Amino acid sequence: MLNDLREYIGASMSIYSPREDGLYGMLAEFRNPGELVHAAEAVHKAGYRRFDTHSPFPIHGMDKAMGLGNSLVGAWSLGGGLTGLAAGYLLQWWTGAVDYPMDISGKPAFAVEPSVPVMFELTILFAALGAVIGMFAMNGLPRPYNPLFNSERFASVTDDGFFLHVAASDKNFDVASTDELLRKIGALSVEKLYDLDDTAE
Amino acid sequence: MANTLKSSFVTGWLLDPFQPTEQHARGPFRPVLNKLLWIVPLMVGIAGLAVALVGLSVDREQFFFSYLVGWTTCLTIALGALFFVLIQHLTKARWSVVVRRIAESLTWSFPLLALLSLPIFFGMHDLYHWAHHDVMDPSSPHFDPVLKGKESYLNVPFFIVRAVIYLGGWTLLSFLLYRTSLRQDVDADPSIPARQRKISAIGLAFTAVSTAFASYDFVMSTDPHWFSTIFGVYFFAASFWTAHAVIALAAVLLQKSNGLNGVVTEEHYHDLGKLMFGFTVFWTYIAFSQYMLIWYGNLPEETLWYRERLEHGWQTHSAILLLFHFVVPFWVLLARTVKRNGTLLAGVAIWFVLMDWFDMHWLIMPTHSPEAGISWITLAAGIGLLGIFFSAFMYRLNRHSLVPQNDPNIAKSIVFAT
């Protein structure tokens, strides 16, 4: 149960568990960004959900091609913003009216008017922090080790390589049929990737 | 030679200084020629103004204040559109080329607005307390030393001179930008964008200053004792906010009439929506800055203005303004779906125009009537002026290509994606 949850969350960050025999997935290389987008569309259409694409630069329209929904970072940001708004209000009220009330030219100990700038600034600060924290919480970065690094071809991903990786943990994954699909949609090469625990030796 | 831009007959200048060029428009840029788009608002506008004129005989002072509310609402839309055009030229914006003609067409409202401003000058005695002779006369019981001190600025001849400079300057700028853009439609002279940028650089400086001073003169001086240096920025914020809404609304109306197919896309609506959202926050930021400083300073001559707006029912208007000029538009436009859907965005845009009118009413009317409420004369004048304004705009828009079709960035604008 707990393991399933961990696997599910990991998969949402593209951290997949290898199969029993250590097979992590299939890695296919494509010629250019356009082909990679079409490949992602085809793989998504074929029913695969646990796959990811890698390219040297962001590709416009890739989210849609991969069938990814709207990012949830916005919700994190909104939550952060509302927290900041409430925190600013409480800070102003507690310090002004409860903990250390002072009479300054007859003004009320707490009023919304002069508190708005504080509430506003904390809203912005917490919204930004919420966005950054949410981004890191959901994208699985930093990730110093990735089984994809076991592929020699994959090194060109920071230069001129466009890759698509289908995880072995996908429910539709099958060595033969996945290989066939990737080749059919124009992969330059398809290789099997293993995630072997070599520290055990 | 066929490819020249011909002037209209002088009598037509009020509506459009140039003869139609729609025969040069290509494919989806062709005007929709849906007469309903300008006949319906014209009918509504004439009816509204007729009812408002009845009001003139019923309550003269109320009529002039009502008229000023309607007129400044139209002025904010035209000024916002002028700022839009100036900024797009100066930043060499690509995304906005497909909606720029709509804004250009809006800017040629200034001659009409100048004509429609005449009643304000006839009503100066009712509108502007400083225009009374006796407040400046030390021997009179109504003598007002504060206004006497402001006499060198607030006097009738100088007011008229300034108004002529504002309206004349805006008209001239609009003419230069409108002419270069229409000429480009028929004759793609490559030197035109550079000329438009040059006009815009000088034009933006002039428009920024004149907008602030026009807001002081026409709006702020209805309460001549009160002053706020941020008022000009507030007026600009209201203008720019509404103009984006009207541009989006016009684009949707044209598309519903089968124009601009595949030209204005959800990406452009998304950007207009983002700007509408952004300037919702900007307007609030400025409105609150003004309020907070006056609250903190707590000086009687400044707080009085807000006090008038926080009692005798005006507090309801202030609350509506906060809620429906900021809170509701903020949450509605936060959603991506609303910004990317033309029909929904048009609904929000109509709301924006209504709220802009409500904002102008809130700025101007409490000086006239200490008791809150919206007079039928105000409603009639608002409907009348906005109807005529919108009708002239739609009529003009459909005489030419709906986009600056030979702009070097037109192709990039059409395929633009955020």
Are A23 and A54 within one domain? yes
User: CA–CA distance from B313 to each of B69, B320, B326, B364, B371 (Å)?
Assistant: 19, 11, 20, 15, 6
Partner-chain contact B296 A116, CB within 8 Å: no
Q: Which of B292, B298, B417 sits opposite A60 (nearest CB)?
A: B417
Two tokens, residue B24: 């040069």
Residue B2 has a pLDDT of: 47
**CA triple B93-B96-B355, angle to 5 deg:** 120
Per-residue pLDDT of chain A (201 residues; tens, 9 = 90+): 788 888 888 888 888 888 778 888 888 898 888 889 988 988 888 888 888 899 999 988 888 888 888 788 889 999 999 999 999 999 999 998 999 998 888 888 898 888 999 999 999 999 999 999 999 988 888 888 888 888 888 888 888 889 998 888 888 888 888 888 888 888 888 888 888 765 544
Two tokens, residue B70: 């309607």
Residue B1 has a pLDDT of: 38
Partner-chain contact B298 A114, CB within 8 Å: no
Instruction: Choose from A77, A107, A113, A120 for mutation: most chain B CBs within 10 A.
Output: A113
Q: Which residues of A touch B284 (CB under 8 A)?
A: none
Residue A70 has a pLDDT of: 79
Partner-chain contact B296 A114, CB within 8 Å: yes
The residue written with tokens 């630069």 in the block is: A57
Are A163 and A130 within one domain? no
User: CA–CA distance from A160 to each of A64, A101, A153, A157 (Å)?
Assistant: 22, 64, 11, 6
Q: Which residues of A touch B336 (CB under 8 A)?
A: 70
Distance between CA atoms of residues B162 and B157, nearest Å = 9
Partner-chain contact B417 A114, CB within 8 Å: no
Residue A197 has a pLDDT of: 65
Are A90 and A46 within one domain? no
Are A164 and A192 within one domain? yes
Are A149 and A102 within one domain? no
The total number of structural domains in chain A stands at: 2
Q: Which of A60, A105, A113 sits opposite B295 (nearest CB)?
A: A113
| Domain end point (choices A94, A121, A139) | A139
Per-residue pLDDT of chain B (418 residues; tens, 9 = 90+): 346 777 777 677 888 888 888 777 777 777 877 788 888 888 899 999 999 889 888 888 889 999 999 999 999 999 999 999 999 999 988 888 889 999 999 999 999 999 999 999 988 888 898 888 888 888 888 888 888 888 889 888 999 999 999 999 999 999 999 989 988 888 878 888 889 999 999 999 999 999 999 999 999 999 998 989 999 999 999 999 999 999 999 999 888 887 887 788 888 899 999 999 999 999 999 999 999 999 988 888 889 899 889 989 899 999 999 999 999 999 999 888 888 888 899 999 999 999 999 999 999 999 888 888 888 889 999 999 999 999 999 998 888 888 888 888 877 787 776 5
- How close A113 gets to chain B, by Cα (Å)? 6
SS3 B24: helix
User: CA–CA distance from B405 to each of A71, A132, B28, B95 (Å)?
Assistant: 37, 43, 10, 14
Are A116 and A151 within one domain? no
Helix axes B266-297, B300-308, angle to 10 degrees: 130
The parent domain of residue A122 ranges over 73-139
Residue B415 has a pLDDT of: 79
Q: Which residues of B touch A60 (CB under 8 A)?
A: 417
Are A60 and A101 within one domain? no
Q: Does B9 touch chain A (CB under 8 A)?
A: no
Are A150 and A195 within one domain? yes
Are A90 and A189 within one domain? no
pTM over 0.90: no
Please report the DSSP string for B235-286 in residue order: HHHHHHHHHHHHHHHHHHHHHHTT-STTTS-HHHHHHHHHHHHHHHHHHHHH
Are A61 and A83 within one domain? no
Residue B27 has a pLDDT of: 78
Partner-chain contact B291 A113, CB within 8 Å: yes
Q: Are A145 and A19 in contact (CB under 8 A)?
A: no
Q: How many CB atoms lie within 10 A of CB B163?
A: 17
Q: Are B378 and B66 in contact (CB under 8 A)?
A: yes
Q: Which residues of B touch A70 (CB under 8 A)?
A: 336
Q: Which residues of A touch B415 (CB under 8 A)?
A: none
pLDDT tens readout for residues A33-50: 888 998 898 888 888 888
- How close A147 gets to chain B, by Cα (Å)? 34
Are A42 and A97 within one domain? no
Are A119 and A171 within one domain? no
pLDDT tens readout for residues A117-144: 999 999 999 999 999 999 998 888 888 8
| Domain end point (choices A91, A118, A139) | A139
